[in-house]
């Protein structure tokens, strides 16, 4: 009896690996879980890497798109500038004709028609950013004016624009063409020959 009891106790003391206890995972199940965890971590790292690559490519594409838009806008602006610059001599011819017609007081249908065409052309170019700037009576400025001639004048301060030969134009706030002008200079003190001539004239008048 004693031996049978001892055998029974020994049998109960040995743990059974296949007893189905949910708190104790089997060796094979533990290996599968570790493998799945490792694969999941690897997949998450790869997904994060792909995400970083996608963000970098998106930023590169956005920079490329902005650069191409800037280059395209620059090409359009340069082409517009060259075209308008080629049209400025035509505007000069219109302007000279209309000014001479006003000086000669010509007022016929031909002049009015040409003036209408000139105004329409000016309006179309102004919609593209073209504008004139005033020069007559202004102080000479190399940023806006190109001096063709200097003449002594005592009725205006030196370096004053006294005549505008060709108008100056700006395109979108930038000087497209300098105005061609005549500028005044200081006449200086009268010379001796002028004083002698004036004195001679005064003596002859008194005589």
Q: Nearest to residue 183, comparing CAs of 135, 149, 133?
A: 149
Q: Which of 163, 173, 150, 179 lies closest to 92, judged by CA?
A: 179
- Residue-wise pLDDT tens digits, 157-193: 999 999 999 999 999 999 999 999 999 998 877 665 5
Residue 62, CA distances (Å) to 19, 69, 133, 140, 189 in order: 63, 11, 40, 47, 68
* pLDDT number for residue 201: 47
State yes or no: pLDDT of 14 exceeds 70.
Answer: no
- Considering the segment(s) 132-188 as one domain, its CATH architecture is Roll (2.30)
Cβ burial, residue 170 (10 Å; 0-12/13-18/19+): middle
- pLDDT tens for 70-89 read 888 888 888 889 999 999 99
Higher pLDDT, 131 or 27: 131
- Sequence ranges of the domains in the chain: 132-188
The three-state (H, E, C) secondary structure of 39-67, written as one string: HHHHHHHHHHHHHHHHHHHHHHHHHHHHH
140 pLDDT tier (thresholds 50, 70, 90): very high
């Amino acid at each position: 009896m004693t031996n049978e009891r001892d055998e029974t106790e020994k049998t109960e003391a040995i743990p059974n690996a296949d007893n189905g206890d949910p708190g104790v995972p089997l060796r094979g199940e533990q290996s599968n879980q570790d493998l799945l965890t490792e694969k999941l971590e690897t997949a998450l790292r790869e997904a994060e890497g792909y995400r970083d690559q996608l963000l970098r490519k998106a930023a590169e594409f956005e920079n490329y798109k902005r650069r191409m838009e800037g280059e395209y806008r620059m090409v359009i602006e340069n082409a517009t500038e060259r075209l308008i610059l080629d049209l400025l001599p035509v505007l000069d011819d219109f302007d000279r004709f209309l000014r001479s017609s006003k000086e000669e007081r010509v007022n016929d249908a031909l002049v009015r028609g040409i003036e209408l065409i000139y105004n329409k052309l000016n309006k179309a170019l102004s919609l593209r950013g073209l504008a004139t700037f005033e020069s007559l009576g202004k102080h000479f400025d190399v940023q806006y004016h190109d001096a063709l001639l200097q003449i002594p004048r005592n009725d205006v301060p030196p370096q004053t624009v006294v005549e505008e030969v060709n108008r100056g134009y700006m395109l979108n706030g930038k000087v497209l063409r300098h105005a061609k002008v005549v500028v005044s200079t200081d006449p200086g003190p009268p010379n001796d020959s002028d004083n002698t001539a004036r004195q001679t004239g005064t003596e002859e008048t008194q005589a």
